Copies of this chain bind each other. A is one copy, B any other.
Amino acid sequence: MRVLILGGDGYLGWPTAMHLSSYGHSVAVADNYLRRGLCREENVEPLYASLNLHDRAVLWEQISGKKLQVRIGDLCDWDIVSRIFREFRPECIVHYAEQPSAPYSMMNRRAAMLTLHNNLEVTSNVIFATQEFVPDAHIIKLGTMGEYGTPNIDIEEGWIEIEHNGRKNKFLYPRAAGSLYHTTKVMDTDLLWFYVRMKGLQVTDLMQGPVYGIHTEETRHHHGLLPFFNYDELFGTVLNRFVVQAVAGYPLTIYGKGGQTRGYLNLTDTLQCVRLALENPPGTGQLRILNQFTETFSVNELAERVQEAGSRAGLDVSLKSVENPRKEAEEHYYNPRHTGFADLGLKPTLLSEDILTGMLETVMEYREQINPDKIFGGYAKW
């Protein structure tokens, strides 16, 4: 299948490109290096440098024999989006091309406006380009479990039937996100659902939890194939950051009470989920919503798991509670459903001792490159 991956340079985009390519799909990646630029601006460079997309595609072709098409440009620009769609004529679009950081989106007005503008403009362009050039294509959109927030009732998979005063209606499950970044994903869902209803688009909206991990099947071939890996509080995800902090001898920083519970998944499961969604399309005129995570943990549980794994690896890992920079419930009910991917055949890679040990070992290879000043509060503020 011809698959266009938007945001193909990112932590998830690049490994997805290799994964789908190795499964025989014809893959094009597009990116404008927005995230690289933001990391440089904010002085939170990743753990190791990554080749640019053109060079990584060459390396991947040398190793796998599979060709990736690369297009560099701003997907807020209709000229660029329309040209890519006309030339590549994707059968499936995997849309990761968003400013991905919740704390970044809350830093200041400029960052908020960039997030809002970038995320909605790209999603709109994807919708219009699909309608105009490839109306039967399947859009796989990366949303987030954070769209739901932490309601006091069970979180269903995208939809809920409400019985009210003796009548019934099925609705989008009501959203209440905890950051502007997450709110732009809510707004993406609003837009996509609207155009599914009006124009018969075919969309899978993935409500993904925080992802952890470094290696995938494909990255094992060469360190130059590793994904972008941040360990700062702006662009790093919590478990990845804890692993780096453990290696650096930096206390694991727990925001407030640490009872914040979320649904997590391994990077390799993200790839598997996207492939399962792609190979099992929902059908024209459908908005399918899948909750994409494999198990839930509180922040305290994650910290304890990393502490234990660190001990086994001979590291002395301490925990430290810090004042919560976010406005969020630190203790709450959390019971999200996630049966959709199990039904599609997902074989989850759960957070085992081996997985944590493997992550610690990989990060230890880059130990000298960790800058402890960048772990917490180290980003450029203005």
Contacts and interface: CB of A to CB of B under 8 A. Distances in A.
A168 interface: yes
Given A167-B153, A171-B151, A116 B109 contact: no
A153 B163 CA distance: 8
A152 B169 contact: yes
Contacts of A167: 152-154, 333
Interface in A245-262: none
What is the oligomeric copy number? 2
Contacts of A174: 160, 162, 171-174
Nearest to A333: B167
A353 interface: no
Given A164-B160, A190-B187, A116 B124 contact: yes
Interface residues of A, number: 43
A197 interface: yes
A285 to B, nearest CB: 12
Contacts of A78: 109, 113
Given A128-B109, A162-B162, A194 B180 contact: yes
Interface in A68-118: 78, 106, 109, 112-113, 116-117
A197 B165 contact: no
Interface string A147-163: 00001111000001011
A351 interface: no
A124 B170 CA distance: 30
B168 A153 contact: yes
A222 interface: no
A191 interface: yes
Contacts of A333: 167
Contacts of A191: 116, 183, 187
B153 A132 contact: no
A176 interface: yes
A271 interface: no
Interface in A325-382: 327, 333
B113 A124 contact: yes
Nearest to A109: B128
B180 A176 contact: no
Nearest to A198: B327
B176 A186 contact: no
A120 interface: yes
A175 interface: yes
A106 B190 CA distance: 16
Contacts of A109: 78, 128, 132
12 contacts: A78-B109, A112-B128, A151-B171, A153-B163, A153-B165, A154-B167, A160-B162, A172-B176, A173-B174, A183-B190, A187-B187, A187-B190
Interface of A: 78, 106, 109, 112-113, 116-117, 120-121, 124, 128, 132, 151-154, 160, 162-165, 167-169, 171-177, 180, 183, 186-187, 190-191, 193-194, 197-198, 327, 333
Given A112-B124, A113-B124, A171-B176, 8 more contacts: A152-B168, A152-B169, A153-B169, A167-B333, A171-B174, A172-B174, A174-B174, A187-B190
